[in-house]
Amino acid sequence: MRELDRGPKRGRTARSINGLVILVVAVVLLPLAVAAGVAAPAAADPYSRLREAWVPAPGGVGHIKVRTWLAANGSDRSVYLLDGLRAPTDLSDWEHETNAAWLSDHGVNVVEPVGGTASFYSDWYFPNNFTDQPYTYTWESFLTENLPDFLAANYGLSRSRNAVVGLSMGGNAALILASRHRDQFAFAGALSGYLNLSAPGMREAIRIAMLDAGLYNADCMWGPPWDPAWLHHDPFVQAEGLRGLPMWVSAGSGLPGVHTRPTAPIDFWNTSVGMGLEALSLAQTRAFQVRLATMGVDTAHFEFPATGIHAWPYWQEQLWAMLPMMKGAIGA
């Protein structure tokens, strides 16, 4: 629910460093290639294939920023990457915190919608009244109607057999979207998600987390705790819709691993919070695993690393680990 351990942003500075590295490599290798009588391979640069657009969206929001890295090999299959509860409004945290753009070097178009803080990427009942939000969140409609239409019309990308992957809040949303839109998504990934919202105390926990993320009112999202909408967005309850769908589902143990090196006092606080959040996700993910097993749903691959807290470096590892399975499922 809260994403931790944010590293340096991968904006202009990171691209400049990447360009310098590429230049040095080219200077070193080009003479060797000429001496051997072969051409030096072209260096991959995902940012040369980056497309940014403001895509029309329903619900009165107007437009939503979407950044897309086109696949180097011309593939028309995509992965939609969904953020966590504190999704920023400038760039997706997948861009801020990971090297996800480089998936486009491996035959997958990388689609990163920007925004959606505390939205669960769902269609809300009302605008958020605690902040006088002037529009209603309609993320499910946008991701399954407006966005694929735009990608098909402007970049020639397929509306079907794509992947959707999310972490934390986005992990919940990825499974729900895939369960409802099987014509669009042939693969789903849920990293450190909260996949059993009907468990005791979870609806109250979600409500508190949304308030903490920016005074978002869960009643405006899915209504009071007894509203059926809560069940409709619970992967544990909606598991039948995932039958036959290839999935990658993971959660760490909550124990700090190689990517957790706290030094300042705030680092120790963030680490302790991340440990607790991941331990809760682990319990939820184990329950979801049992749920699928009892139903005979055997198309999900579960990963439970011995270490890992609720933090970006561990999610980046999982994203690359799932790539072969993802590509096989979507035909990239």
User: How are beta strands 62-69 and 50-57 bridged, if at all?
Assistant: antiparallel
185-191 and 109-113 beta bridge pairing: unpaired
DSSP assignments along 50-84, one per residue:
EEEEEEEETTTTEEEEEEEE--TT----EEEEE--
Q: How many CB atoms lie within 10 A of CB 301?
A: 14
Whole-number Å distance between alpha carbons of 180 and 38: 51
Is 233 an active-site residue?
no
Catalytic choice (95, 278, 281, 317) = 278
Q: Given the residues 106, 181, 233, 310, select the one marked as catalytic.
A: 310
Select which of 92, 168, 179, 250 is catalytic: 168
Find the helix packing angle between 323-330 and 312-321, rounded to 10°.
50
Is 192 a known active-site residue? no
Exposure of 77 by Cβ count < 10 A (0-12 exposed, 13-18 middle, 19+ buried)?
Answer: buried
Q: Do 307 and 256 contact (CB within 8 A), yes or no?
A: yes
Q: Which amino acid is at 312?
A: W
Q: Is 310 annotated in the active site?
A: yes
Helical segments of 242-309, H only: 265-295
Query: Which residues are part of the catalytic machinery?
Result: 168, 278, 310
